[in-house]
Amino acid sequence: MSPDQIAAARGAALPTPALTPSGPAEAPAAPPAGPAITEAKLANGLDIVVIPDRRAPVVTHMVWYRNGSADDPLGKSGIAHFLEHLMFKGTKNHKQGEFSELVADSGGQENAFTSNDYTAYFQRVATGELAVCMEYEADRMKNLVLSDEIVAPEREVVMEERRMRTDSDPSDQLNEAVQAALFTQHPYGKPIIGWGHEIEGLDREDALRYYNRFYTPENAILVVAGDVEPAEVIALAEKIYGPIPAHGEAPKRNRPREPEPRAHRRVTLTDEKVEQPSYQAVYLAPSYRTAAPGVGEALEVLGHLLGGGNTSLLFKQLVMEQKIAVAAGAHYQGTAVDDTRFYVFGLPAPGVSLERLETAIDAVIAEVAAHGVDEADFHRAKTRLVADAVYAQDSQAALARWYGASLATGLSIADVAAWPARIEAVTLDDVKKAAHWLDKKRSVAGFLLPANDEGAAETAAA
């Protein structure tokens, strides 16, 4: 329901469906059990991960910075995403567009994305182009030009992006309000793109200070996947990224912890542009990084059982049996540095109120919390999740992205490799217990309603 990152497409197509901006389908993306990963760390602090994939003479080159929108300084929301834009504007050595042209001319693809917890840049090119990609990427890690002439017009581009994306879309506005209500003090409550009135105030000084603070080798992870020799990749990285001076130490994330939620919240948005009403519930839940061992995996299985596709409990009960919804689902957004979100949603059938839908969804959850799930469904869900992990290895970019996102959110290579076994280890009782995280008072409900008349909000809530 709520995008957890902004992927900015800049003339280059996204390489695989798994790399589209994440939604319910993306969150439980699957980690591989297979490849032999090589890790290294340069003297300047740069982490390196090499993932062999020899099926084609293609390489994916990514640099992940361990800073996302949740690290935006107070009153400067949107600056992580703004920097992602500015990273394409040229350096002391290369003018704007050179790097992108190089990638495009060789038939490659490139992109960048900003999430709550990280900002990442990638190119997918012929193996022979790896060194030149590294050179361009290393160059913009230290030589970015941030003049007023560059910063001011790009801020307008971002403002326009916000106007297009959010200010004209009631559903996105509701999502912003729901996240802000869920995270009362943790910065996950701020939109990745930033609040409009704060984006307007971002200037060259802000960009420069941010760039100097976060765009450092200690704060970055280089991920290379493809038809490469790990030792050669590391030697190449040493030569190209190695000369970038260390800044001292990696910047610290300053993330206040959420107080324990005690009251259920409901956020309602009515707008003339809404044609299909919708209901969502977002629960504050532990992430893979913050959860006790096994709890993240149990929430993943629960998300799949409750709402992963047309065989899920919510779909079967609300859409097929009760026929009160035209769609329903759930998913767990487990990859996060801090406590995260478990999403449940439904689109009501014509004439069904959101309150009725909410009550029906709550009953499905309560049933799971009280009596657990069907054993055959349970085994099918686990098998499917593990299979997804295997299939994910088919996509080189998805594989690189899975490792990058995991490492950038505080997990280790070992955590990623152990994931399928940990999913296998989830028990029926674990799933039942995990459903207790879906406690009303841990959640925010989002009601999206058409504004048929002035009294719509009241009528709908009565």
Task: Residue 189: name the closest of 365, 388, 444 by CA.
Answer: 444
> x/- contact string, 118-157, with a second copy (CB under 8 A)?
----------------------------------------
C-alpha distance from residue 254 to each of 35, 74, 338 (Å): 34, 11, 11
Angle between helical axes of 230-240 and 130-142 (0-180°, round to 10): 40
Q: Is 263 in the site for a second copy (CB under 8 A)?
A: yes
Count of residues in contact with a second copy, rule CB under 8 A: 45
How many whole angstroms separate alpha carbon 285 and alpha carbon 264? Answer: 14
Rule CB under 8 A: say whether 457 interacts with a second copy: yes
**Per-residue CA distances from 61 to 127, 129, 144, 228, 263 (Å):** 10, 10, 19, 11, 45
Q: In angstroms, give the least distance from the CB of 28 to a second copy.
A: 28
Q: Which of 26, 39, 84, 205 is catalytic?
A: 84
- Cα–Cα dist 131/120, whole Å: 18
Span of 117-125, 147-155, 169-177, 418-426 interacting with a second copy by CB under 8 A: 169-177
- Minimum CB distance to a second copy, residue 135 (Å): 38
Buried b / exposed e over 304-329, threshold 16 CB at 10 Å, is bbbbbeeebbbbebbbeebebbebbb
List 47's β-bridge partners, or say none. Answer: 41, 221
- Give yes or no for residue 254 binding a second copy (CB under 8 A): yes
Using the minimum distance from each CB to a second copy, give the nearer residue, 57 or 455. 455
Q: Shortest approach of a second copy to residue 311 CB, angstroms? A: 26
Residue with tokens 């017009």: 153
Cα(286)–Cα(353) distance, integer angstroms: 31
| Cβ-contact 51, 148 below 8 angstroms | no
**40/45 Cα distance (integer angstroms):** 10
Q: Kindly state the greatest CA–CA separation across the chain.
A: 67
- CB closer to a second copy, 66 vs 76: 76
Q: Residue 254 Cβ, how far from a second copy at the closest point, in Å? A: 6
Our finding on whether 432 is near a second copy (CB under 8 A) is: no
Are 328 and 346 in contact by the 8 Å Cβ rule? The answer is yes
**Quick one: 68 or 217, whose CB is closer to a second copy?**
68
Does 308 participate in binding a second copy (rule CB under 8 A)?
Answer: no
The helix or strand, by DSSP H or E, that contains position 250, with its residue range, turns out to be none
Q: How far is the CB of 446 from a second copy (least distance, A)?
A: 8
One character per residue 264-283, x = contact with a second copy (rule: CB under 8 A): xxxxxx--------------
What is the C-alpha end-to-end distance of the chain, expressed in Å?
Answer: 25
Query: Does residue 163 belong to the site contacting a second copy (CB under 8 A)?
Result: no
Between CA 374 and CA 378, with CA 377 as vertex, the angle to 5 degrees is 80
Residue 451 interacting with a second copy (CB under 8 A)? no
Binding to a second copy in span 47-106, by CB under 8 A: 74-75, 77
How far is it, in rounded angstroms, from Cα 169 to Cα 337? 29
Site for a second copy in 178-197 (CB under 8 A): 178, 180-181, 184-185, 189-190, 195-197
Identify residues 341-370 at the interface with a second copy (CB under 8 A).
Answer: 355-356, 358-359, 362
**Distance (Å, rounded) from C-alpha 399 to C-alpha 15?**
12
Smallest gap from Cβ 440 to a second copy, in A, equals 5
Interface residue with a second copy among 13, 36, 376, 462 (CB under 8 A) is: 462
The token pair that represents 294 in the structure block: 């096994």
Comparing CB distances to a second copy, the nearer of 359 and 412 is: 359
Closest approach of a second copy to the CB of residue 74, in Å: 5
Task: CB nearer to a second copy: give 257 or 323.
Answer: 257
Tell me if 262 contacts a second copy by CB under 8 A: yes
**Residue 462 DSSP class:** -
Residue found under tokens 């910047």: 251
458 touches a second copy (CB under 8 A): yes
Minimum distance between the CB of residue 123 and a second copy, rounded to whole angstroms?
Answer: 35
| Binding status of residue 441 toward a second copy by CB under 8 A | yes
Would you count residue 173 as binding a second copy (CB under 8 A)?
Answer: yes
CB atoms within 10 A of CB 194: 24
Beta bridge partners of 225: 51, 60
Work out how close the CB of 312 gets to a second copy at its nearest, in angstroms, rounded to a whole number. Answer: 21
355 is catalytic: no
Task: Establish if 209 lies at the interface with a second copy (CB under 8 A).
Answer: no
DSSP state for residue 373 in the 8-state scheme: -
Active site residues: 84
Could you list the residues that contact a second copy (CB under 8 A)? 74-75, 77, 173-174, 176-178, 180-181, 184-185, 189-190, 195-198, 254-257, 259-269, 355-356, 358-359, 362, 440-441, 446, 457-458, 461-462
